[in-house]
Amino acid sequence: MNLAPFRDPAIAARLIEETHRVQSRPWVIMETCGGQTHAILRLGLDQLLPRGLELVHGPGCPVCVTPAPLIDHAIALAARPEVILATFGDMMRVPGTASTLFAARAAGGDVRMVYSALDALELAHTNPDREVVFFAIGFETTAPGSAQAVMRARSQGVANFSLLSAHVLVPAAIRYLLEDPGNRVQGYLAAGHACAVLGGQPYEELAARFDVPIVITGFEAIDLLRGILRVVQMLEAGEARVENAYERVVHHEGNLQAQDAIWNVFMSRGREWRGIGLIPASGLTLKPEYSAWNAQLKFGPPAETSTEPGICISGLVLQGLKKPPECPAFGRECTPGHPLGAPMVSAEGACAAYFSYQRMPEGRDDKSPGSEGAA
């Protein structure tokens, strides 16, 4: 796809100008997806918005919210000689209680990075004498792929494949944040890719019940600016609807085939979110008829709970209550090379985004590199 139109500086400038024009008082908007957080900071987009418009960063990084005990479980499975532990690259560096999957691999565990659940199933085919466990991470975006792999494993009679499910659902987390009495977010950018699967429906009830505008938003500069402008317009007009500013990807009803795959294989249940706590009906676990492919049942339950380093405030960051630079450990004890909490590790984590893109000294002049000469 040609992305140039969605990065056009002239269109961006017009949208920014319009946002300045429309905004009359301060608002707090949350972008729910880590991909959006990264794009905003990478583009320096927050610096261009009106002063009173505060963007706070939501819990939309599936790697960040995966609880440490579940990672510990994956590490323990990886240490078993018969197991090939397959997972997405993002998960490799995230610390559990004491270790990471990268460290597990260095210690001799067979940990493979894959790009889809079906790649993991393929590993089971090519290694019939091994047990392939797919550590399934992600929101409703990656859950259909996991579901498809499990269905295929059943239809093909693949017995040496199982799923360690860490899948979570975005709308459940948004509801949890909205129910929190301390919530100060007034409008939401819903995560475009997740909405492509579930559609706008799950957000409609939230918008109505909590009286907040929610705009389904993409990840390019123009997508983000359109989403932000729509939220501000609705806030200024006192409206609270779900709108779709990512029409090229998201249909209102979502992807029905993908939804069928999810609900055929998974059921929702309460899930612990790292740093946040138990969120009802927010996790996906395999239905009883797929127990044979459930790694938790195949290999036994995980070890008991563990704790985060005391200084890390990642829970508050993931709920949008604090910004990463407000953490006493940010950039000091905690860096991407030496992370204390998951948001500093993951490519989608808010702390990593701030560390990577925005450790700019305050009060910079605004001259471009080219303003004095040839550039």
Partner 1 sequence: MNNERIQLGHGSGGRMMNELIHDLFRRRFSNPQLNALDDGAILPEPGGRLAFATDSFVVDPLFFPGGNIGDLAVNGTINDLCMCGSRPLWLSAGFIIEEGLACSDLEIIVGAMAAAAAAAQVRIVTGDTKVVERGKADRLFINTSGIGVISHNPAPGSCRIEPGDRLILSGTLGDHGIAVLSQRSHLGFSTPLQSDTAPLHELTARLLEACGGGVHAMRDPTRGGLAALCNEFARSAGVEIRLDETALPVRPEVAAACELLGLDPLYIANEGKLVAAVAADAAERALEALKSHPLGREAAVIGEVRKGEAGLVAMRTILGGWRVVDLPAGELLPRIC
72 binds partner 1 per the rule CB under 8 A: no
Q: How far is the CB of 282 from partner 1 (least distance, A)?
A: 15
Coil, helix or strand at residue 323: coil
Give the amino acid at 270: G
Query: Is 292 buried (19+), middle (13-18) or exposed (0-12) by CB count in 10 A?
Result: middle
Q: Which of 210, 263, 299, 357 binds partner 1 (CB under 8 A)?
A: 357
Site string for partner 1, 151-190 (x = CB under 8 A): ----------------------------------------
* Exposure string over 295-332, b if 16+ CB within 10 A, otherwise e: bbebbeebeeeeebeeebbbbbbbbbbbbbeebebbee
Q: Which of 88, 176, 188, 330 binds partner 1 (CB under 8 A)?
A: 88
Stretch that binds partner 1, among 66-74, 134-142, 209-217, 294-302 (CB under 8 A): 134-142
Stretch that binds partner 1, among 20-28, 70-78, 113-121, 304-312 (CB under 8 A): 113-121
Segment 207-226, which members bind partner 1 (CB under 8 A)? 221
The Cα 326–Cα 59 span in angstroms is 17
Q: How far is the CB of 131 from partner 1 (least distance, A)?
A: 20
Distances (CA, A) of 6 to 1, 2, 36, 219: 11, 9, 14, 9
3 binds partner 1 per the rule CB under 8 A: yes
Query: What is the distance in angstroms between the CA of the first residue and the CA of the last residue of the chain?
Result: 29
Cβ closer to partner 1: 240 or 318?
318
Coil, helix or strand at residue 184: coil
Q: How far is the CB of 289 from partner 1 (least distance, A)?
A: 27
121 binds partner 1 per the rule CB under 8 A: no
Stretch that binds partner 1, among 35-43, 124-132, 287-295, 322-330 (CB under 8 A): 35-43
Parallel, antiparallel or unpaired: strands 266-273 and 277-286: antiparallel
Q: Which of 4, 182, 288, 304 binds partner 1 (CB under 8 A)?
A: 4
Rg of the chain over all Cα atoms, to the nearest angstrom: 21
Q: Which of 181, 288, 301, 373 binds partner 1 (CB under 8 A)?
A: 373
Q: How far is the CB of 27 from partner 1 (least distance, A)?
A: 20
User: Which bin fits 135, alpha (ψ -120 to 50), beta or left (φ > 0)?
Assistant: beta
**Token couple for 160:** 């040496």
Cβ closer to partner 1: 79 or 347?
347
Stretch that binds partner 1, among 103-111, 228-236, 255-263, 359-367 (CB under 8 A): 359-367
Coil, helix or strand at residue 207: helix
Segment 91-110, which members bind partner 1 (CB under 8 A)? 92-93, 102
The Cα 313–Cα 280 span in angstroms is 22
Q: Which of 31, 54, 72, 90 binds partner 1 (CB under 8 A)?
A: 90
Kindly report the backbone phi and psi dihedral angles of residue 130, in degrees, each rounded to the nearest multiple of 5, phi listed first: -115, 165
Segment 303-342, which members bind partner 1 (CB under 8 A)? 336-337
Residue 232 CA to chain centroid, in angstroms? 23
Secondary structure (DSSP) of 263-284: HHHEEEEEEEETTTEEEEEEEE
266 binds partner 1 per the rule CB under 8 A: no
Q: How far is the CB of 277 from partner 1 (least distance, A)?
A: 22
253 close to 199: Cβ distance less than 8 angstroms: yes
Stretch that binds partner 1, among 248-256, 268-276, 303-311, 366-374 (CB under 8 A): 366-374
Q: Which residues bind partner 1 (CB under 8 A)?
A: 1-4, 7, 9, 12-13, 16, 33-35, 41-48, 62-63, 88-90, 92-93, 102, 113-116, 119, 137-139, 141-142, 193-194, 221, 336-337, 347-348, 352, 355-361, 364, 368-370, 372-375
